[in-house]
Structure 1
Amino acid sequence: MSLEQEVARRRTFAIISHPDAGKTTLTEKLLLFAGAIQIAGSVKARKAARHATSDWMEIEKQRGISVASSVMQMEYRDCVVNLLDTPGHKDFSEDTYRVLTAVDAALMVIDAANGVEAQTLRLLEVCRARNTPIITFINKMDREVRAPLDLIDELERTLGMDVAPFTWPLGMGKDFAGVYELREDRMRVFRAGEDRISGDEEVLQGLDNPEIAGRYPMQFETAHAEIDLVRDAAPPFDEAEFLAGRQTPVFFGSAINNFGVKEVLDALVDLAPPPGGRPAIQRRVEPTEPKFSGVVFKIQANMDPSHRDRVAFLRVCSGHFERGMRMKVSRNGKDIRPNNVVTFLSQRRELLEEAYAGDIIGIPNHGTLQLGDTLTEGETLQFTGLPFFAPELFQGVEVRDPLKTKQLRAGLEQLGEEGAIQVFRPLAGGTLLLGAVGQLQFEVVIHRLKTEYGCDARLEGTRYTMARWVTCDDERELKRFIDANAHRIAYDAVNAPAFLATMRAELKVAEEKWEKIKFHAMREHAGLMFASH
């Protein structure tokens, strides 16, 4: 196959949702339908040894939530599908934000009982900012949920985008009879409790089929009126509007019952775009360029605790990757030749011989690679758009056993590189500071320090409430500022200086006094700063 053909058959997407909308369950069922796994791990039965395939971390198994993004690759209908499952919890939104920079489409899962929830909106704003095409799956129709017309109306109002229903439910909860496929003009009958992929399903053709009305009189009457209304009022599906992120195709179903999952998988293959071009500071990079380039959008420590490993997740942006090829790290000009690059099915890994634009590959990494690093075959490129947000919460961290100080520093260094938490080293010395977007990040880090690094650490309060990274065009002026404010300066994982404040007024005073200094609420990789305040 040519490079163009290989790129054209790639589909790379992230699954996004509010916690408990059924995202991890849907992820598993997509893998099941694609034939990538044979049995679905029960997400609910936490006492069983079988946990969700995409949730591998010990704390995830205990709490029943996803706290780290995971990557899975599978083949379906001659397409190579790269699926990225993301944490739904708002405290881990930074990880999700970075994952969304690495995909070409998103699958949004909505709980039909709750509609559009806060975290869904936050993630959606990220997708909208990048014009990422979105496919919507309204889940849990086998329960008592909100009326489908209400859900569609809310989607349009809150998301600010047109909605194009591809399927429509007949009934809900105990009366859920199935879905009507509007484009194929047929009903697919729901059978509850089918927990295997059989392929034999009952289909009734035509909306006016007397068998539908005879078997499901109540559901049919309501659904018929709703479908007539939707056909008249909803705009037809427009591929250009979808690809621009202004219209979302909508599917109804029940992931736990495997119902509606295949239609979503087919839609991802048929509708989601193949890899597109990506902006670098130097130029725009097209996926079908012959030379390899890629960007590190995630680093995960201790995926295999027995080997203390760190894996850099890299999105291939152009060309063809081959095992053992020489790659240049644009940040420092260093060459690397990784021979043990892997592809993933969550924790299960396989050595990878080759990959193409759109694929996600894992490079075992011992501190060589950082979040945001661009790798090429020699050209100096820096892909943009991988931000770090200024933390909103701060805690000091100390080790209970002073003999374990080395483990604490090593653990925090790795977890900081990973982006699980932001670690600040005060210039004036003293306790290391942790910065987080959400409280749960602190709990996860303390848990991981203990289980993965054998280091029993404790958090202690700190007076700081905000941080701003500082830059200045005049290096001497920046040094003067740092020297004058040494007690408020701390360095992060990539040695970028930050100004720490106990209240907004202090930040305002510093900004007025030091006019040449720029204060940033967001840091891009390698010191590329933007977004003051």
Structure 2
Amino acid sequence: MLRSISRRFNYRLFSTISDIERVRKIRNIGISAHIDSGKTTLTERILYYTGRIKEIHEVRGKDGVGAKMDSMELEREKGITIQSAATFTKWKDTTINIIDTPGHVDFTIEVERALRVLDGAILVVCGSSGVQSQTMTVDRQMKRYNIPRLIFINKLDRIGANPFSVLEKIKDKLKLNAALMQIPIGLESNLRGLVDLLEMKAVYFQGPKGDKVVYDDIPAELKSEAEAKYNDLIGALANVNETIEEYFLNESKPPIDIVKKAIRECVINRTFVPVYIGSAYKNTGVQPLLEAVTSYLPDPSEIKQEALELHNEENKIELESDSKKPLVALAFKLEDGKYGQLTYFRIYQGKLTKGTNTHNMRTGEKVRVPRLVRMHSNEMEDVNYLEAGELGAAFGLDCNSGDTFTDGAVKCVMSSMYVPDPVISLSCSPLTSKDLLPFQKAIARFKKEDPTFHAEFDASLNQTVISGMGELHLDIYLERMRREYNCKTKSGRPKVNFREIINKKTRFEYTHKKQSGGSGQYAKVIGYIEPLDDYSKNEFKQSGGSGQYAKVIGYIEPLDDYSKNEFVNQVTGGTIPTNYIPSCEKAYKEAIKKGFIINHPIVGMRVVLQDGAYHEVDSSDLAFRIAMTNGLAQAFAKAIPQLIEPIMTVEVTCPIEYQMPVTAGLGKRQAIISDTEIHDDYAVISAECSLNDMFGYSNDLRSQTQGKGEFSMEYFEHRPVLPSKQNDIVEEYKKLAEEEAKLLQ
């Protein structure tokens, strides 16, 4: 089977033409959207119409097979994409590398790392629900990585589908200069075809699977509407393209080849987004979308790619999609398969050849590449090399996600991808002693594969605490432990990742003395703490002179934004010897990991160590660590400490008759309703709510809507907890701590 596929898709036939022409015939694209917008269904049709697969299978298909790109058993059971899947296919003479990404926000890292290495994308929007919460998240991710995109308004066969309304929301909510390239012939159950606004032809998709594309005259009743939408398209282009603007101002119709050239230029410059329409499930509109991918999205050489030089102040160097240049490749995703670790690569420059040595720029180690493959979901095709602009994978490399590989001729690294912090945690441990080894293996694998999955052992609980992006995220990993590792686990209630901050500049002065026979302990620290401007990154700054003794004096202070902490050494005159400053720094780092309110990390605090004292005999590293810890605790308690909690954006979709009880239910959870939209028979309610108040909401929503409601939730920001609520959280924490202490006795 794989051999026949390999013969059929012989991508090495480009070796007979120049490297420039080879790269021009490559498109690296991702397909992204809000959950249940039809990404995987669209990908299945693309693979079928390009001849990559012989049969179409549906997500949660009745035949039990499932879509090709949902190869994981859990994905087929739940009908959602959990891991991004890569494939490659060919439309006419153009190679298309595709990554199908998850829609659920809990798996947002899969979208991040896919977009990091892609040159273009298709943003899928539901023709009925329109722009939803995750649509806006994906849009932000595409803008973060400067990704040119097309938009495909899908599911026009659904009740309430309206591409014109969806287009207005795309322009309003996503702030995109977008215009329709097609209009529908019929909608909902009457969807029969499309009108191509450039060709001014009706397009029909005939045959049981829409294989046969037929062009015909536009129905008479749609001609005036088609002309109006064509003028809208030209108007949108005229705003960003001087050539089209000239035709527009002269009220003359530009030639179709000039319009197409302008669209391509504007798409690549990200000043215009063409909008295509159809229904992937009803086999309508996919082939014109494929034509648009090859016509308007960029090839690898048209996207500026830069790397950072090592040992040269990280100066930027521009990379070229040239296989004869020195190798630069990025490992962007890891999987643990039956043959070992599978590392997904994007080749930015040069050629990666099987059996040759490469250099890992992070570790400096030279590693051999024993096997190279190209992926078709969970199937593999062995290749001897991967060239500039291509995506592939390698076995036998021990590396991390985000590592840069070169052939040694250049010393550079690619910029890192954005990795959001986890927002939810739960305690987890193996059920029996025989489950311990597979449990440890699973945790190690998941941490390596997924940068948003964290796990740390809590000695006080004698349990591992796992953290992730949501309840579903952690539930999936627990289920994978059971299925893939035959490991049974027990877990505690999910725990919200609160953070601790201060609101007032406060001084500290603490002396640690202990005399109990033999050598004693002495250290004094003086300083202050204060809030910082940004509360999430931890830094240590050194600016003191030399000296000897054990006393620390300083202060701590809060910041204006939750993103970092700082330790500033202002000790002069040797009042604290320089060899004891690292001990104070270590105490600071331990303190910010587990704060003083409920043992959650401290953010947004600057610690300034100003003065201190030491003793020639009794001072030690331990003494200064104890003094610093107690000094910080002393100041923290007086600095108006406060908890901040993760706030989520929540979007609930329900039949309109359940709008009132759903809104009331959100109100009971202290949610702030930000918007309510009505789409025919459905209401879409947008709100902001504390993650701590959202546990168990799925059960409430089912009972409020008779199982007809659904919701999505995404991290927005951390905000201060109300004083009354903070008191309840602190009391609950103390109660649990007492219970755990009794169990340990």
Structure 2 length as normaliser, TM-score? 0.61
Residues 3, 326 of structure 1: CA spacing in aligned structure 2 closer, same or farther, 3 A cutoff? farther
Q: Is the 8 A contact 1:109 1:139 kept in 2?
A: yes
Please point out which of 473, 481, 497 is paired with 1:465.
Answer: 497
SS of match in other structure, 1:25 = helix
Distance, in Å, in 1 between the alignment partners of 2:595 and 2:351 is 44
Q: Deviations over 1:44-99 (max 9, x none)?
A: 42x53311100011111110000100000112222221100000001111221111
Matches within 5 A, 1:78-97: 78-97=93-112
Q: Residue in 2 aligned with 1:512?
A: 606
Q: CA deviation at 1:139?
A: 0.9
Cα distance in 1 for partners of 2:133, 2:39 equals 15
2:73 corresponding residue in structure 1: 58
- Superposed, which structure 2 residues align to 1:448-487 within 5 Å? 448-461=480-493, 465-466=497-498, 468=536, 470-472=538-540, 480-484=584-588, 486=590
- 1:187 corresponding residue in structure 2: 202
Distance across 2 between alignment mates of 1:273 and 1:147: 29
* CA contact 1:464–1:502 (8 Å) conserved in 2: no
Question: CA offsets per residue over residues 2-33 of structure 1, 9 Å max, x none?
Answer: 33222222110100111111110100111111
Cα distance in 2 for partners of 1:501, 1:401 equals: 34
Q: 1-side partners of 2:265 and 2:609: how far apart?
A: 46
Residue 370 of structure 1 is matched in structure 2 by 400
Relative to structure 1, the CA distance from residue 502 to residue 296 in structure 2 (aligned partners, 3 Å threshold; closer, same or farther) is farther
Query: Which residue is equivalent to 1:519?
Result: none
Q: d(CA) in 2 for partners of 1:363 and 1:48?
A: 33
Q: Tell me if structure 1 keeps the 8 A contact 2:374–2:393.
A: yes
What aligned pairs does 1:320-339 form with structure 2 within 5 A after superposition?
Answer: 320-339=351-370
- What corresponds to 1:257 in structure 2? 282
Contact conserved, 2:540 with 2:585, CA < 8 A, in 1?
no
CA distance in 1: counterparts of 2:487 and 2:469, whole angstroms: 23
SS of structure 2 residue aligned to 1:256 = coil
Partner of 1:447: 479
Equivalent residue letter for 1:106: A
- 1:113 match: 128
> Which residue pairs with 2:189 in the alignment?
174
Paired position in structure 1 for 2:444 = 413
Counterpart CA distance in 1 for 2:595 and 2:468 is 14
Say if 1:481 and 1:514, in contact at 8 Å, map to a contact too: no
Per the alignment, do residues 137 and 330 of structure 1 end up closer, same or farther by CA in structure 2, a change over 3 Å counting? same
Q: How much does 1:514 deviate?
A: 5.9
Q: Distance in 2 between matches of 1:483 and 1:464?
A: 25
**Aligned pair count?**
489
Aligned to 1:34: 50
What is the aligned counterpart of 1:24 among 33, 40, 53?
40
Larger deviation, residues 235-244 vs 459-468:
459-468
- Alpha-carbon offset, residue 339 of structure 1: 2.4
Residues 448 and 268 (structure 1 numbering): CA distance in 2 closer, same or farther, change over 3 Å? same
Flag the 1:330–1:156 CA change in 2: closer, same or farther, 3 A.
same
Specify the alignment match of 2:147 in structure 1.
132
Which residue does 2:26 correspond to in 1?
10
What is the SS of the residue equivalent to 2:472? helix
Pairing 1:280–2:307 present: yes
Matched, 1:294 2:329: yes
Q: Deviations over 1:243-299 (max 9, x none)?
A: 122311111111112221111111111111111332222123222262221111111
Residues 452 and 468 in structure 2, CA contact (< 8 A), matched pair in contact too: yes
Provide the C-alpha distance between the structure 2 equivalents of 1:335 and 1:125, rounded to a whole number of angstroms: 37
1:404 aligns with 2:498: no
The change in CA–CA distance for 1:80 and 1:501 in structure 2 (over 3 A counts) is farther
Q: 1:315 to 1:333 in 2, by over 3 A?
A: same
State the percentage of identical aligned residues.
21
Distance of 2:24 and 2:609 partners within structure 1: 50
Once the two structures are TM-superposed, the CA of residue 427 in structure 1 deviates from its matched residue by: 8.1
Name 2:215's counterpart in structure 1.
Answer: 203
| Separation in structure 2 between the aligned mates of residue 114 and residue 365 of structure 1, nearest angstrom | 44
Distance 1:501 1:95 in 2: 35
Structure 1 pair 485–427 and aligned structure 2 pair: CA distance change class (3 A): farther
Q: How does 1:295-310 map to 2 (within 5 A)?
A: 295-302=330-337, 307=338, 309-310=340-341
Letter in 2 for 1:230: D
Residues 319, 460 of structure 1: CA spacing in aligned structure 2 closer, same or farther, 3 A cutoff?
A: same
Give me the whole-angstrom Cα distance separating, in 1, the residues matched to 2:451 and 2:486: 18
2-side partners of 1:175 and 1:363: how far apart? 48
Code of the aligned partner of 2:366: D
CA distance in 2: counterparts of 1:501 and 1:138, whole angstroms = 51
Pick closer, same or farther for the CA change 1:502–1:344 going to 2, 3 Å: farther
Compute the RMSD of aligned alpha carbons: 2.9
Aligned equivalents of 2:165 and 2:596: distance in 1?
45
CA–CA distance in structure 1, aligned partners of residues 427 and 595 of structure 2:
13
Tell me the distance in 1 between the aligned counterparts of 2:540 and 2:423. Answer: 23
Q: What SS does the aligned partner of 1:160 have? A: coil
Q: Deviations over 1:152-200 (max 9, x none)?
A: 2111111111113221112202322311111111111355x72253x3x
Offset at 1:501? Answer: 8.5
Question: Within 2, Cα distance between the matches of 1:295 and 1:503?
Answer: 40
Looking at structure 1, the residues matched to 109 and 131 of structure 2 have their Cα atoms a distance apart, in angstroms, of: 20
Is the 8 Å Cα contact of residues 427 and 486 (structure 1) preserved in structure 2?
no
Q: Which one-letter code corresponds to 1:43 in the other structure?
A: V
Give 1:105 shift.
0.5
Distance between the aligned counterparts of 1:165 and 1:184, measured in 2? 13
**Take 2:288 and 2:366, find their aligned partners in 1: how far apart are those partners?**
44
CA distance in structure 1 between the partners assigned to 2:598 and 2:266 by the alignment: 44
Is the partner of 1:83 in helix, strand or coil? Answer: strand
Whether 1:235 and 2:210 are equivalent positions in the alignment is no
* Displacement after TM superposition at 1:323 (Å): 1.6
* 75 and 506 in structure 1: CA distance in 2 versus 1, 3 angstrom threshold: closer
What CA distance in whole angstroms lies between the structure 1 residues aligned with 2:492 and 2:145?
Answer: 38
Whole-Å Cα distance in 1 between the matches of residues 597 and 352 of structure 2? 48
Counterpart CA distance in 2 for 1:477 and 1:78 is 65
Q: Structure 1 residues 131 and 336, CA, compared in 2 at 3 Å: closer, same or farther? A: same
Question: For residue 91 of structure 2, what is the aligned residue in structure 1?
Answer: 76
Q: CA deviation at 1:335?
A: 1.7
Give the alignment partner of residue 270 of structure 1, picking from 282, 295, 299: 295
Q: Which runs of 5+ in 2 are unaligned?
A: 1-16, 239-261, 310-316, 500-535, 543-566, 568-579, 611-717, 720-745
Q: Which amino acid aligns with 2:470?
A: G
- For structure 1, which segment, 163-172 or 178-187, has the greater mean C-alpha deviation from structure 2 after superposition? 163-172
Matched position secondary structure for 2:412: coil
Structure 1 distance, partners of 2:163, 2:68, is: 31
Gapped runs of 5+ residues in structure 1?
Answer: 490-498, 517-531
Which SS does the other structure have where 1:15 is aligned?
strand
Task: Give the CA deviation at 1:462.
Answer: 6.9
Q: 2-side partners of 1:41 and 1:514: how far apart?
A: 63
Q: Check conservation: 1:82, 1:360, Cα contact below 8 A.
A: yes
Deviation at 1:333, TM superposition (A): 1.5
